[in-house]
Amino acid sequence: MPSSSLRDSTAPAPAFDAIAASTSRPIAITMGDACGIGPEIVLKACADRSLDVPLRVVGDARWLAREASRLSLPLPADIDDVVRLPDDLSVGRVDARAGDAAYRCIVHAAEQAMRRELRAVVTAPIAKEAMHAAGHRFPGHTELLAELAGGAEVRMMLANPELRVVLVSIHVALREAIEALDTDGILRTIRIADASLRRAGLEGPRIAVAGLNPHAGEGGLFGREEIEIIAPAIAAARAEHIEVSGPFAPDTVFMRARGLREFDLAIAMYHDQGLIPVKYLGIDDGVNVTLGLPFVRTSPDHGTAFDKAGRPGPDGRGLADPRSLLAAVRQAAALSVTGEPQ
């Protein structure tokens, strides 16, 4: 994968913009929450002829067959039938039974990936409320996968063709995210981001770090976190020959990274600081990538969309748009060309 392609903002595939080579191992797609649009977008993605990679759907074969019939779509050839959903499950609603099934699909796919039976894992959207109701109290996919991987230190990256953002903290309250901010955590985030881009084929990735406060603290007038916590992490990373700079004002750094003009990736201090600019540019092409796992994992940058689940749409093919899932599959293929974890 030539490094120049990683900086080509006009290429169609998000984040690393690489074309995947064919491998014998499949990419698994978990079905997601069956009460949402997961089964619909998985079937639509599997039927898309532009994907030139072997796919394996992890879920309930019977449920998928019913959805395929409703949508007049072919049933995927490779289904890992690991759960059985109840017949009285209602789409468009939070249901603990669907949450439990989604959880078990994720666990099964992750275990296969860690045994090197899969090339990568792509996860369809889950309902965190449903999973919690089933007793699986994880904030989201990222934290669950980190635990399944033996407590791996992971980071969330959201990416589209114009912008890549890695988060220092993920699913915690804003107050907690600020209180937990420390130099070592920011430094480890920079290291993980740099290593992941290098493994994807980019030499000397240019990393920008956002500040926490307005105007990046304005020299200490609006807060001292930039001076006392963030800047020392950047200095330590530069001493390790990582091309990183900042802290920059949060209200402009993402514009500077957009289109890969000045930077290949921006690091945000907390969840919404980084995800708002990525999602503003468009959810359909967005991809969530978990960095730091012993296998490649991506997902679409949207939720279960209960309001669209099971609805026929004007053509009878459903309302759910599979573009973000397709982008996630392409991203997983691109990242797993070498077979190395991200």
pLDDT tens, residue by residue, 272-295? 999 999 988 877 778 999 999 999
Query: Residue 134 contacts by C-beta under 8 Å, 6 or more apart in sequence?
Result: 96, 97, 99, 100, 103
Q: What is the pLDDT of residues 64-96, one digit of tens each?
A: 999 999 999 999 999 999 999 999 999 999 999
DSSP reduced 3-state for 336: coil
Q: What is the pLDDT of residue 323?
A: 93
Domains of the chain listed by start with CATH number: 1-153+293-342 (3.40.718.10), 163-280 (3.40.718.10)
More confident residue, 55 or 199: 55
CA dihedral of 296, 172, 324, 46, whole degrees rounded to 10: 50
d(CA 205, CA 35): 40
∠ CA 128-80-66, rounded to 5° = 75
Q: What is the pLDDT of residue 336?
A: 84
Least reliable range by pLDDT among 78-82, 279-283, 308-312, 330-334: 279-283
Element at 1 (helix H, strand E): none
Length of the chain, in residues: 342
Q: What is the pLDDT of residue 1?
A: 31
